[in-house]
Amino acid sequence: MTPLLKIEHLTHFFGGLRAVYDFNFEIPEGSIYGLIGPNGSGKTTIFNLITGIYDPTEGAINFQGENIKGMKSFRIVHKGIARTFQNLRIFGNLSAIDNIRIARHYTTTSSLFASILRLPSFKSEERAVKREALELLDLMHLSNRAMETAKNLPYGELRRLEIARALATKPKLILLDEPAAGMNPKEVDDLMRLISRIRDEFKVTVFLIEHHMQVIMGICEWIKVIDFGETIAEGLPDKVKNDPRVLEAYLGKRGT
Amino acid sequence: MGSIFSLQQILNGLQLGSIYALIALGYTLVYGIVRLINFAHGDFFMIGAYAAYGSFYMFNALVAGRSGTLAFLVLLAAMIGGASIAYLTNKFAYKPLRYKPKLSSLITAIGVSMFIEYFFSALPAIGPSYRSFPDILVRKEIRLGNAVISNLVIIDLAVAAILMVGLTLLVRKTTLGKAMRAVSQDKDAARLMGIDIEKVISFTFMVGGAFAGAAGLLAGMTYPRIFPYMGILPGLKAFIAAVLGGIGNIPGAMLGAYIMGIAETFASAYNSLIGEGIAFAILILVLLIRPRGLLAEKIADKI
Amino acid sequence: MNVRKLPRFLIAVVLFYIVVEVLYRTEILNGYLLHIINLSLIYVILATSLNLINGITGQFSLGHMGFAGVGAYVSGSLTTLILKLSVTNPASMLPFLLSIIAGGVVAAFVGFLIGFPSLRLKGDYLAIVTLGFGEIIRTIFNNIDAVGGPRGLLGIPKFSNFTVILVAAFLTVVIIRNLIESSHGRAMLSIRENELAAELVCVNTTRYKVMASTFGAFFAGIAGGLLAHLIQLAHPTQFGFIKSVEVLIMIYAGGVGSLTGSILAAFGLTFLSEGLRLGIRALADATGLPIGGEWRMVVYALLLIFIMLFRNEGLMGMRESRIIKNVEVD
């Protein structure tokens, strides 16, 4: 079976700086895969390359058998890859529900004309969008926050709102960039359950970056470890956890 | 009438370019250090011209006959005038907004620019109308083939050259110059290294203002009339020159300014409409083809 | 009948129309004040349409009056030079309205063209480029002899009246509001909020930036045409940089992102401007001092600086009055 996402020989340079080197990865449909590595090892760059924020220097990115390398970001999202950001990128001055509604944008078909005249077709579509947005908020336990201006929400809720927004684009693959960052242990537990639910109920494949070992070891089925843009280990969580190269990358060489 | 590419035109272009260069350096220095397009910078140029104008009549009687000393004093007054207004503008309008969204500073800069222009033309002592600029030095002309070279050309080029060499030395060799470069690289790191960044920013504004002031004097002498709105167009064109050279880059600003001066002189000789529009055409071309300018380094944005 | 479902904005505008007409007919409101109201309404069109670009989509235009100039010159040339319409002929009204729309369409096309090179630019660079475009447009008017060159296009018939201008302002606000409250408008808002995130929830940011620029320019063109047929003149200096800044001050005074704010500020500042003009003249006459009209612009400049330093959110912030908003679809 062809994997959902297949990355081959992905390499990226910033000027003379090598950020990612010969990165290869296959993610089968329906899985939860993790990417770990020390700070500055190139994890977020890989997400940026997949989502078209950067144009890779070399390599191929195939999604459902189609090469998406060099596509504009919004087209890649259209193909079915959504993501969240390490430093939240919420539409802060808009309500929580509008954050979600915007993500339903590409599926709406009302023309400018119909929208400006507020024709019945436009109104029924708006109703549908609103209902779906409320359902997503409900799933994330945010329904009581729907009309709240997003920037006033607490941090943990913003993280969930961002995941809800990504889901609203109806992705097949979701990239989560440190979803547990800044969460307390209770929130981390909820998040882990949530990620599993997303995979099971929405049939979304999950690829996540995380520093939180509890999350990585608890839900990831396969883990890739990178340092200085290069793969240093990969495998099942238990194997990776005890790999000497991984320990070295995180803790430094013994004696130094 | 000769070809539009005559020696005369090249000299005129270099002369105009020298004035643009002095203004453009201020834009580039300030942009390099606080990432702000200082819209009011063209008005510092205007203030310099008026400071020169006023000081000429003040010192004329004092140093009667010694035109060299007089010219030096007037230059000093123009530079002090430009530096003072730059200092005040930064202190009262830009500093309070330093850590607010960049657009707020930009809009404030537009407000400051309008304020300076209209305030000066509203003041009865200055007024909105043109004034003719006095001859500070006796005009002399040398014929060279078909071209007529006035001593003003040489003075404009020389003053600009001396100031630019001075600036380069300041930035490269002095502690203050090092601090300026540090702040332009990374404000937070500079602060951690014990640099008083507000002082450095203030100093940068003053250097830029002083240069614009000097340009005001040169422009007054070369195109002998001044008025409160005289800074708008040269300011814009010098800014475009700075963008052309790669904003934030000192040699870039000089290069861009001389290209702009020559291009504008040639274009105007060809057709006045094209002459008026060439600067903006250059701007649009640069932003489309090479938005970082001719001499800019490549920087990776961090997301 | 459900009061909440009434078209509040329509009712408010009809009431405004009736009050102004009654006051004018009974000569409580003189022709001068009606003229200021007309000007205010034209500024409502300019301010709300600039707000679509700067406030809603988060771009930055400093050349808005350039588009108004395109509208003024195109419609003015059509009515004055080509069709030679006369105000006394009632059959001229329709061709006049079509000329105004033509002016808007040409301005929109220019806005569309300018939208593209501006795409990659942000904030300050965008400001300079739009300023440059505005100046190029002005320079072109200044150099076309057929439309009067630096003297301007004179003798434009006075077709614009209170009714026409009010209807135009009403339609502008309604169209922009309905746009904002649709999926298209939310896409524009998301660009303002965070362009990268917008792109990553599938918003074609290129398309919507160009769309905002095109729409904004269209309405500015309409406003320019109405203005030219109100003051019977199209002159290059009316459409320069400083005039664009005046509209900019309106949207910042009212609150960037709030149509309500733009409408209030358009009225407030147009009246303030006239008040200052009269006040300064009266002061100069009374004291015999040489107090020039430039002081008006000094006040404007200080107002802009003051707003930026001390009241960044303007009058309304991003809030919208309930009168302006549509009834939410539920």
Best C52, C170, C183, C189 member to test A by mutation, with max A CBs in 10 Å, is C183
Neighbours, chain C (3 or more CB pairs < 8 A): A, B
pLDDT at C5 over 80: no
Q: Which domain holds residue B201?
A: 19-128+135-229
pLDDT digits (tens, 9 = 90+) for A180-223: 888 888 889 999 999 999 999 889 999 999 988 888 888 999 99
Q: Tell me which residues of chain A have a C-beta less than 8 Å from any C-beta of chain C.
A: 51, 53, 72-74, 77-78, 82-83, 85, 89-94, 98, 101-106, 108, 110, 112, 115-118, 122-123, 125-127, 129-130, 165-166, 168-169
Whether residue B111 lies within 8 A of chain C, CB to CB, comes out as yes
Q: Which domain holds residue C78?
A: 8-239
In chain B, what percentage of residues exceed pLDDT 90?
49
pLDDT digits (tens, 9 = 90+) for B242-297: 989 988 888 899 999 999 999 999 998 888 778 878 888 888 888 778 878 888 65
pLDDT digits (tens, 9 = 90+) for C190-238: 999 999 999 999 899 999 999 999 999 999 999 999 999 999 999 999 9
What's the pLDDT at C329?
A: 63
Residue B95: partners with Cβ closer than 8 Å, 6 or more residues away? B198, B201
Our count of domains for chain B comes to 1
Q: Give the nearest chain B residue to A12 (CA atoms).
A: B300
What's the pLDDT at B261?
A: 95
What's the pLDDT at B4?
A: 60
Nearest to A165 among C178, C184, C201 (CB): C201
Q: Give the nearest chain B residue to A19 (CA atoms).
A: B300
Cβ contacts (< 8 Å) between C290 and chain B: which residues? 124
What's the pLDDT at C227?
A: 98
Q: What is the ipTM of this complex?
A: 0.89
What's the pLDDT at B212?
A: 96
CATH 3.30.200.20 fits A1-80+171-256, yes or no: no
What's the pLDDT at C325?
A: 84
What's the pLDDT at B270?
A: 85
The DSSP bridge pattern shows strands C233-234 and C153-154 to be: antiparallel
pLDDT at B303 over 70: no
Taking only residues 43 to 82 of chain B, the set having a beta carbon closer than 8 angstroms to any beta carbon of chain C reads none
Note whether residue B143 is domain-resident.
Answer: yes
> A87-119 as b/e, with b when 16 or more CB fall inside 10 Å?
ebbbbeebbbbbbbbbbbbbbbebebebbbebe
What's the pLDDT at C166?
A: 97
- How many other β-carbons are positioned within 10 Å of the β-carbon of residue A130? 18
Note whether residue C288 is domain-resident.
Answer: no
Whether residue B104 lies within 8 A of chain C, CB to CB, comes out as yes
Instruction: Give B21 or B301, the one with higher predicted confidence.
Output: B21
pLDDT at C242 over 70: yes
Give the closest residue to B78 by CA, choosing from B58, B108, B94.
B58
Cβ contacts (< 8 Å) between A105 and chain C: which residues? 183, 186-187, 190, 201-203
Low-confidence ranges of chain A (pLDDT < 70): 1, 251-256
> B99-117 as b/e, with b when 16 or more CB fall inside 10 Å?
eeeebbbbbbbbbbbbbbb
Note whether residue B297 is domain-resident.
Answer: no
Across the interface, whether the CB atoms of C183 and A104 are under 8 A apart is answered yes
pLDDT at C184 over 90: yes
pLDDT at C314 over 80: yes
CB C50 within 8 A of CB C256: no
Q: Region C31-35: what's the mean pLDDT?
A: 94
In chain C, what percentage of residues exceed pLDDT 90?
68
- How many other β-carbons are positioned within 10 Å of the β-carbon of residue A79? 15
CB A242 within 8 A of CB A225: no
What's the pLDDT at B1?
A: 45
A91/chain C closest Cα distance in angstroms: 5
Q: Give the nearest chain B residue to C121 (CA atoms).
A: B287
How far is Cα of residue A27 from the mean position of the Cα atoms in its chain?
14
Across the interface, whether the CB atoms of C201 and A101 are under 8 A apart is answered no
Domain boundaries, chain A: 1-80+171-256, 90-170
Q: Region B53-58: what's the mean pLDDT?
A: 91
Our count of domains for chain C comes to 1
What's the pLDDT at C119?
A: 76
Q: pLDDT confidence of B302, banded at 50, 70, 90?
A: very low
Note whether residue C252 is domain-resident.
Answer: no
Residue C235 CA to residue C156 CA, distance in Å, equals 11
Mean of pLDDT over chain B: 88
Q: Where are the alpha helices (DSSP H) in C92-122?
A: 93-115
Give the closest residue to C176 by CA, choosing from C269, C262, C75.
C262
Across the interface, whether the CB atoms of C312 and B104 are under 8 A apart is answered yes
CB C62 within 8 A of CB C245: yes
**Strand runs (DSSP E) across C58-162, as ranges?**
153-154
**DSSP calls for B80-138:** HHHHHHHHHHIIIIIGGGTTS-HHHHHHHHHHHHHHHHHHHHHSTTT-SS-EEPP-SS-
Q: How many CB pairs under 8 A join B and C?
A: 116
Residue C135 CA to residue C122 CA, distance in Å, equals 19
Q: Region C76-86: what's the mean pLDDT?
A: 93
Residue B292: partners with Cβ closer than 8 Å, 6 or more residues away? B246, B298
Residue C21 CA to residue C9 CA, distance in Å, equals 18
Whether residue A44 lies within 8 A of chain B, CB to CB, comes out as yes
Note whether residue C269 is domain-resident.
Answer: no
What single-letter amino acid sits at B114?
M
How far is Cα of residue C164 from the mean position of the Cα atoms in its chain?
15
Q: Region B209-223: what's the mean pLDDT?
A: 95
Inter-CA distances, C255 with C62, C127, C151, C311, Å:
17, 19, 36, 10
Structure tokens at C226: 């109405």
Backbone φ, ψ for residue B70 (5° rounding): -60, -50
Q: Give the nearest chain A residue to B299 (CA atoms).
A: A15
pLDDT digits (tens, 9 = 90+) for B105-145: 888 999 999 999 999 999 888 888 899 998 888 778 888 77
pLDDT at B300 over 50: no
Cβ contacts (< 8 Å) between A169 and chain C: which residues? 201-202
What's the pLDDT at B298?
A: 47
pLDDT at B2 over 60: no
Q: Give the nearest chain C residue to B103 (CA atoms).
A: C123
Residue A165 CA to residue A142 CA, distance in Å, equals 12
Across the interface, whether the CB atoms of C194 and A89 are under 8 A apart is answered yes
pLDDT at C130 over 60: yes
HSE-up of residue C123 (Cα within 13 Å, Cβ side): 12
Across the interface, whether the CB atoms of A17 and B303 are under 8 A apart is answered no
pLDDT at C249 over 50: yes
Cβ contacts (< 8 Å) between C219 and chain A: which residues? none
Mean of pLDDT over chain C: 91
Note whether residue C88 is domain-resident.
Answer: yes
What single-letter amino acid sits at C53?
I
Q: pLDDT confidence of B5, banded at 50, 70, 90?
A: low
What's the pLDDT at C330?
A: 63
What's the pLDDT at C1?
A: 54
pLDDT digits (tens, 9 = 90+) for B84-99: 999 999 999 999 998 8
